[in-house]
Amino acid sequence: MIRFPFLKKSRFRGPLTRRGERIGIPRGMMFYHFFPLWSSFWENLGWQVEVSPFTTRETVEAGKGLTGTDLCLPVKAFLGHVLCLKDRVDALFLPRLISFEEGAYLCPKILGLNDIIRNLIPDLPPLLEPPVNYKGPPKVSLESSFLSLSETVGLPRGRLAEAFRQARVHWEKEQAGVYRTHGIPQKLIPEDLTQALDRVGPGTARFHLGIIGRPYLLFDPILSQQLLKRLTFRSCALTCIHGISAAERERQEEKLAKKVYWSLGRDLVASSLSFSQKKDIDGIISISSFACGQDAFTSYLVDHYARQHSDKPFLSLVLDEHTSPVGLQSRLEAFFDLLGRPH
């Protein structure tokens, strides 16, 4: 049995949660990548899954009120989502995500997110926080992570293994669906945004844009200042980073002089190379969060490769809770002026 000495021992005895109870999953950070896997796993075992509502201004303000530090906007919003859920569920599912592939880590703030939550939010329900760490030691795969919950939920490992197998099949189907919808997880975004995206078909789009950004910033309409909807109102077809196949991203990554050490950052840089070379992409927009330490590096690389390999119009947007909608609109108008000029 794998043990994790760096995790605090729970003050609870026996199973922390039982079948039929409500498991809370905050709608933020790696939710946009793993939610189909997480929700399917718990539902397969007989738990109810409750997701926090879509982000509002109040969600962000609640998270901001917990900390005066320079945490990035997505983390502040995530804290707000935890606050929203904590009194409505029997347990919170907060996997401790360290690395989900052997060649890279996740962002340090994601690594420490559970500790931030424990220190800032009182009266939490039990936290279910199995670690995922492909770099180790010890190496903990996704499956091993879920199986480590056996004692926590009072079920045999074989039952958890079958639930994980079924959940993984579901997750892979959902990922394939995201690729077919040009990298946009339509089941995880607000209905009005889905409808706006569907209104722009291949025959009606004025421009086809490549959109580069972390999913937890880009697909949250409040955090992204409704960027995707603003673009659809201008009749733009959009392709985001996971609308590029994994094989294509890997091929582009091999061209880098030095490998990007962070999983999501590597996808951002690879997509910059790919979009810059695609003839059907008219322009590129990169979106990042002001206090993101990783994007201080990766945004430069995205900009560099986008400009080095093409003359497509390129717009870099850095957002936080103080970003003015008027200023954002002005920059988009200037970008569309460039798109409308002959190249």
Instruction: Mark whether 192 and 168 lie in a shared domain.
Output: no
Task: Calculate the average pLDDT of the chain.
Answer: 90
204 and 168 part of one domain: no
Domain end (from 176, 203, 218): 176
30 located within any domain: yes
Question: Residue 44 is part of which domain span?
Answer: 22-176
Give the CATH number of the domain where residue 118 resides: 3.40.50
SS3 annotation, the chain: CCCCCCCCCCCCCCCCCCCCCEEEECCCCCHHHHHHHHHHHHHHHCCEEEECCCCCHHHHHHHHCCCCCCCCHHHHHHHHHHHHHCCCCCEEECCEEEECECCEECCHHHHCHHHHHHHHCCCCCCEECCEEECCCCCCECHHHHHHCCHHHHCCCHHHHHHHHHHHHHHHHHHHHHHHHCCCCCHHHCCHHHHHHHHCCCCCCCCEEEEEEECHHHHCCCCCCCCHHHHHHHCCEEEEEHHHCCHHHHHHHHCCCCCCCCEHHHHHHHHHHHHHHHCCCCCEEEEEEECCCHHHHHHHHHHHHHHHHCCCCCEEEEEECCCCCHHHHHHHHHHHHHHHCCCC
Quick: pLDDT tens for 247-299: 999 999 888 878 888 888 889 999 999 999 999 999 999 999 888 878 878 88
Q: What is the pLDDT of residue 3?
A: 46
pLDDT digits (tens, 9 = 90+) for 176-198: 999 999 999 999 999 999 999 98
Please compute the mean of the pLDDT values over residues 201-210 and round it to a whole number. Answer: 85
145-150: long-range contacts, CB 8 A cutoff, minimum separation 24: 145/95, 146/41, 148/1, 148/2
Number of domains making up the chain: 2
Examine the domain organization and report whether 131 and 100 are in the same domain: yes
| Domain boundary, last residue among 176, 208, 226 | 176
280, 298: one domain: yes
Token duo for residue 25? 């999953």
Same domain for 100 and 235:
no
Q: Are residues 131 and 272 in the same domain?
A: no
Has residue 11 got a pLDDT over 80? no
Q: Tell whether 147 and 199 lie within a shared domain.
A: no
The string of pLDDT tens digits covering residues 36-84 is: 999 999 999 999 999 999 999 999 999 999 987 778 999 999 999 999 9
Label residue 310 by pLDDT band (50, 70, 90): confident
Mean pLDDT check: name the lowest of 21-35, 213-227, 231-245, 312-326: 312-326
* Boundary-marking domain end, from 176, 202, 219: 176
Check whether residue 99 and residue 232 sit in a common domain: no
Is 160 contained in some domain?
A: yes
Shared domain check, 227 and 165:
no
Tell whether 59 and 159 lie within a shared domain: yes
**Residue 233 falls within a domain, yes or no?**
yes
Write phi, then psi, for 177 (nearest 5 degrees): -65, -40
Predicted local confidence at residue 202, as pLDDT: 65
Domain co-membership, 335 together with 187: yes
Buried b (16+ CB within 10 A) or exposed e, 283-310: bbbbbbbebbebbeebbebbbebbeeeb
Q: Are residues 70 and 127 both part of a single domain?
A: yes
